[in-house]
Amino acid sequence: MAEQIATIGDDLEICFETFGDPADPAMLLVMGLGTQMLGWPDAFCEQLAARGYFVIRYDNRDVGRSTYFRDHRPPTVRQLLLRDKTCAPYSLCDMADDGIGVLDHLGIDGAHVVGVSMGGMIAQTMAARHQDRVLSLASIMSNTGHRWRGMPGLRAYPIFLRKPVSDQAAAIDSVIATFKLIGSPDFPFDEDELRAVAERSYARGYDPAGTGRQLAAIIAAGDRTAEVATISAPTLVIHGTRDVMVTPSGGKATARAIKGAQLVLIEGMGHDLPRDLWDRIIGLVARNTTRAQTRRAAA
């Protein structure tokens, strides 16, 4: 289906796209830092839809074709290093409300929610604060915000210190370089496919300052472990053993915090969704939704 816009509140616009039959159970996909909804590949979404889900992917605020908060300066490197919470113009809670707003726009009472990286943090926040709306949770390559769990490895720090670029070629090259660094070393790296997605993303909207504001929201959230521990939805936690952006301790901490959570560590997976793992990841997510449906039927 073509891209659509959900207007949330007075003036916030969230761009989204759907796959599959609206009569099927809804599955909301939440993407990570600075990455548009295209980070959920078309074919990945189509495979989920073929499993019997009404799949919804969307651009978080400050990325893609959703609203940008350009009236607010992005945080400085010093503010980020000092974890200055005052530099955030909005919170992860606001970003979680955006996803719930998309469900409201579509008239959907409840959805299975799947988030990766920052999207996992947003999905966790949805599951904690909107427990009646989240049927199941899949948190992938994410963390709880604990200061010493799931923090970037030393190899990833140069990514945060790069100066923003303004031209298309440099922006696309930066995406390629980033995923060569943080991607899955034990699985094939498809540079042509990634370049095509990066080109589509640049054409849809490009503002590196938005990524900075999203990062500020993560920092301002601090340690969310206590809130994450209140999640009651059946939860699946997936993490790659070779993730240098959010190290595996983040996934382990997430699973420990949520009662009954299933933790799956995938050998050789980094901070991406390699095509060779799609069947496994989709299968795990589907089994978790079945667990949720069984629990609801028994209630």
CA atoms of 103 and 97, how far apart (whole Å)? 10
State the DSSP H helix or E strand holding residue 20, giving kind and residue range, or none if neither: none
At residue 136 the predicted structure's pLDDT band, cuts being 50, 70 and 90, is: very high
The answer to whether residues 228 and 254 touch, using CB atoms and an 8 Å cutoff, is yes
- Characterise 133 by phi-psi region: left (phi > 0), alpha (psi -120 to 50), beta (else): alpha
pLDDT at 236: 98
pLDDT at 79: 72
pLDDT at 1: 67
Domain that holds residue 83: 4-298
Residue 174 has pLDDT above 70, yes or no: yes
CA atoms of 79 and 108, how far apart (whole Å)? 39
pLDDT at 153: 60
Among 30-44, 75-89, 122-136, 204-218, where is mean pLDDT lowest? 75-89
Q: CATH number, domain at 200?
A: 3.40.50.1820
Listed in order, strand segments (DSSP E) in the chain are: 4-8, 12-19, 26-30, 54-58, 111-116, 134-140, 235-240, 262-266
- Matching residue, tokens 């952006």: 245
Measured CA distances, 45 to 50, 55, 139, 145 (Å): 9, 7, 17, 28
Q: What are phi and psi of 176, to 5 degrees?
A: -60, -45
At residue 258 the predicted structure's pLDDT band, cuts being 50, 70 and 90, is: very high
pLDDT at 80: 73
Measured CA distances, 207 to 29, 167, 272 (Å): 22, 11, 22
Considering the chain, what is the average pLDDT of its residues? 92
Listed in order, strand segments (DSSP E) in 20-168 are: 26-30, 54-58, 111-116, 134-140
pLDDT at 76: 74
pLDDT at 294: 83
- In the chain, the number of structural domains is 1
At residue 86 the predicted structure's pLDDT band, cuts being 50, 70 and 90, is: confident
pLDDT at 73: 82
- Characterise 118 by phi-psi region: left (phi > 0), alpha (psi -120 to 50), beta (else): alpha
What value does the mean pLDDT take over residues 45-53? 98
204 vs 162 pLDDT, higher one: 204
pLDDT at 122: 98
pLDDT at 254: 98
pLDDT at 181: 85
pLDDT at 157: 62
